[in-house]
Structure 1
């Protein structure tokens, strides 16, 4: 049962509710941190369903769209098929290719924000620097730094939403001597587009997603490119999702042929959702797809040394998959050299590696990623005085990826152990937003002061998650940001299941997992004895009288059958491949 605490003192809200009908909607103030994809979706959902609210979105950048505004490095693109890197209800007709560039993606979210009037909530060049819980008032005092004017101001909210994401705090590599380098130093997440690489000797550190996109883009234009790689990784598009530039006929059909785009999107989404067994050890899908990718890599490399160094011996999917368009082929070009191993230090001229050689370069590009520790980017002080940055310093432990124990009225997009690599991620974000709307609705119409998941609920979830992860490829000994960039550590980034599994898990709010504190009598929401329907002279006061039963279904199974149109589709049984797992269970 939920742990309910009822303060004895009356509040102004109780007096207001006593003279109002049942479920009276109090005005609430919400602050959202970040106007990237998640922050914009939150604003859209809140605006669509709620009326009596005040929303402020603080965004540190000068524009919206988060990572898709920040990242402008050569070749920057999304590794999710473009038509499925949209909100489920907001398709884009004219994506240029299966994998779209960052500019197109920025335009999608920018257009979304303008179409729905979401910029009215956004304050750009405003960075949240601290948030402190006020136990007496039941909300957060939020410190904000105005980056444009170098000033500071304080704000206050009832509910704090962290939509900052995890790919927003880029970092230089932890290599000694970086400050000694006298050439041009660049980072992919803070890229200077004015730098001309033509005819230069360019060094590239890293073979993660950004490094894999940079190399084939700049290779044709540079005199020489030396890429520094310290570990193998799988690079190849999943079969059926190879890069493809849409033809004029395809673009015409998407825009004008009824149902064509929806059918295409649903087919791709079905394929993405059908891949989850890839991440389970010993399944037929894992074994067959790994064999396919290894063969693809060998064909594209056609080089025994590179095959030996770049093809991993751990399971496919242990690190995030990337399609790597033209990456492997570019590694074999005459002007490209691959240096495998560790960089011991950065010198004035370039990189001194563990092979004893110094590699001098004119320009050094660091494709070394982000701080993906999940810690808030600002001090977040809870009721006990603890800072969530410190609490999550070693291992972040969230409630279903959306909330933190002991930090009331604080909700998170893409928090620890959410499905950021399990399948179509924007679908998961939508359901996180819907889950938050259910929380906010109950908070607004009941006299709730604070809510937070209990430590017991989070502890049980983490135990379940850790046990489940033992049977996944993510537990293999690869170094991955899924595991805090360690080879042998708890999986803190991913959900213990598929995206469809996550969607069902967030289908309702389990209030028994929450500690809820009320302002006064918990039944104050009953109000003055009248319903709101009776105050609406345009409403049907006998809406429940019908000539047939069109009411909702109450069993979860029946609801799911209706919602998913069960019986109308046919899928390959390989989409639920338990091969090799059933025996262990």
Structure 2
């Protein structure tokens, strides 16, 4: 029997008719557009290339290189606070990391090498920025407006399925302080760093004590003339108990490169610790209480300053804001050439910052370590059937299905969307779970006569209600100003998943089609085709594959499947991790993960 492939000229309205000519589950051609060639976009390209055929993919990337935020962020001290051997895809270790905590340049190299190794650049068009996606009622799918940044010309592309992988910690933002445009010194943002600026011997102003600010200060302090750091609120600065910075020796790198078992064990031990952190985020747990006591002692000991202790150590629970291992940060605040100004900046003047204490602080260079726009609202119009724009729907509160899709916006998928586990534990493993889920949806779309798929509005309503109820018992609900809540001290928690990362991975293992609104073109059973199976399509297949000597079927129940996947029975409880206080316990705590 000859191979049967649905041609690329095929359209959804003729799908049901065409499928009757071929075997069941015939693969129609699927046109996919992905926005962004950062970590998520590259992973999706890898997954599609590995698992699919009869598809086309274009990844539009606004930068001149791949790797997204790790290409863009180059400020002094920029790094990731996740141990480097665990800031990789689960299946793609890097053997030669230089240290436990790697720089942004080294992480960029990892993802750049990943793209090169698997030939992913053939899918990517750099210096191309998506400006809008509009549902095509006649053809189905999206007409996507794309600008070639090298020429300024704009064209329209079309896809059946659109994937937004533009990221959450990527859309950097200036602080909303009046007068920023009046400043006559050198103005920098950590996420848009000018490497030609020399800070040595200059008076530098630093706005912010989030992840970026905590890394910048101890890096520049030794060689600037003076640094005036502006802080408006307290934050927990975590120690790095058990995983201090360490430069790997030649012998250690050789061991990782030549002994795969040793490297795998090292990675798994750290990952267990990272996954053991979740108790920290639950109010009233011993893990949270003990950690908070430990943090207070650590911060007080490093600050050695009553004024700063009263203002920088929070009265809300540990974990309400993103935790950042502050290597050298608190100690830097006490250096002779560092001045800490606590309070609000009322305005930026021509010379520097005018603060709420009535004093102006002139500086030669002003660094804004003020983070990103984390509203989750798409950066470009995403207009579905009926003309509804997702930008408008998510203007006040983004409401997604499991962080990957939005109701009433069909055939549109999102990496790291609202309420996914971006701060609950290891994030790259969660991205892998999202990619696998998307592939399952794409597979069903390709092998059935599906016209559109989108999460049901009532399913999203129920998910949001469950999420809100769950969050009441977490430290994230405390009145701290956090990007988890779009910068609002008492706003809804829009960034985080209601559970651990392992909880999310398990929730994403199976596509719950009862949560999805699936519309078919023609008869929903047209996928049954002409009566032949895919097995009969393959002359090299065993047409009696189900005849065997014993029952070797894969598990059918969810519990048995999970026990096989998670290697139940292979790990002792004492291997589960160490918390910040140094105590080993079954629900041990590792280090929270973030892009710094």
TM-score by length of 1: 0.96
What residue in structure 2 maps to residue 3 of structure 1? none
Shift of 1:576: 4.2
How many pairs does the alignment contain? 570
What residue in structure 2 maps to residue 4 of structure 1? none
Correspondence for 1:293 among 288, 292, 295 = 295
What residue in structure 1 maps to residue 236 of structure 2? 234
Alpha-carbon distance change, 157 to 52 in structure 1, aligned in 2, over 3 angstroms: same
Shift of 1:307: 1.3
Shift of 1:255: 1.2
Verify the 8 A CA contact 2:78 2:103 in the aligned structure 1.
yes
What residue in structure 2 maps to residue 144 of structure 1? 146
Give the stretch that moved more between structures: 328-337 or 241-250.
241-250
What residue in structure 1 maps to residue 8 of structure 2? none
Q: Tell whether 2:455 aligns with 1:438.
A: no
Ranges in structure 1 where 5+ consecutive residues have no aligned partner: 1-8, 579-585
Following TM superposition, the consecutive aligned residue runs of length 4 or more in structure 1 with deviations greater than 6 angstroms are none
Verify the 8 A CA contact 2:12 2:521 in the aligned structure 1.
yes
Find the aligned partners of 2:287 and 2:461 in 1 and give their Cα distance.
Answer: 32
TM-score by length of 2: 0.94
Find the aligned partners of 1:299 and 1:112 in 2 and give their Cα distance.
Answer: 42
Correspondence for 2:552 among 550, 560, 563 = 550
DSSP-derived class of the 1:221 partner? coil
Give the stretch that moved more between structures: 412-421 or 213-222.
213-222
Correspondence for 1:330 among 325, 329, 332 = 332
Shift of 1:238: 4.2
Find the aligned partners of 1:479 and 1:258 in 2 and give their Cα distance.
Answer: 43
Find the aligned partners of 1:222 and 1:283 in 2 and give their Cα distance.
Answer: 43
Shift of 1:325: 1.3
Find the aligned partners of 1:529 and 1:387 in 2 and give their Cα distance.
Answer: 42
What residue in structure 1 maps to residue 62 of structure 2? 60
What residue in structure 2 maps to residue 461 of structure 1? 463
What residue in structure 2 maps to residue 401 of structure 1? 403
What residue in structure 2 maps to residue 115 of structure 1? 117
Find the aligned partners of 2:244 and 2:300 in 1 and give their Cα distance.
Answer: 17
Find the aligned partners of 2:13 and 2:231 in 1 and give their Cα distance.
Answer: 62
Give the stretch that moved more between structures: 405-414 or 235-244.
235-244
Shift of 1:241: 2.4
What residue in structure 1 maps to residue 167 of structure 2? 165
Deviations 1:265-309 (A, max 9, x none): 000000000110000001001111111122111222122222111
DSSP-derived class of the 2:184 partner? coil
Verify the 8 A CA contact 1:35 1:59 in the aligned structure 2.
yes
What residue in structure 2 maps to residue 5 of structure 1? none
Correspondence for 1:356 among 347, 352, 358 = 358
Shift of 1:11: 3.7
Ranges in structure 2 where 5+ consecutive residues have no aligned partner: 1-10, 577-584, 590-596
Find the aligned partners of 2:246 and 2:299 in 1 and give their Cα distance.
Answer: 19
Find the aligned partners of 2:382 and 2:181 in 1 and give their Cα distance.
Answer: 32
What residue in structure 2 maps to residue 341 of structure 1? 343
Alpha-carbon distance change, 287 to 93 in structure 1, aligned in 2, over 3 angstroms: same
Q: Tell whether 2:65 aligns with 1:78.
A: no
Verify the 8 A CA contact 2:12 2:140 in the aligned structure 1.
no
Shift of 1:140: 0.4
DSSP-derived class of the 1:542 partner? coil
Find the aligned partners of 1:10 and 1:380 in 2 and give their Cα distance.
Answer: 21
Deviations 1:388-417 (A, max 9, x none): 011100000000000000000000000000
Verify the 8 A CA contact 2:12 2:449 in the aligned structure 1.
no
Correspondence for 1:212 among 201, 210, 214 = 214
Shift of 1:259: 0.9
Correspondence for 1:538 among 524, 537, 540 = 540
Equivalent positions of 1:395-544 (< 5 A) are 395-544=397-546
CA RMSD in angstroms comes to 1.4
Verify the 8 A CA contact 1:10 1:520 in the aligned structure 2.
no
Find the aligned partners of 1:417 and 1:382 in 2 and give their Cα distance.
Answer: 22
Find the aligned partners of 2:255 and 2:13 in 1 and give their Cα distance.
Answer: 60
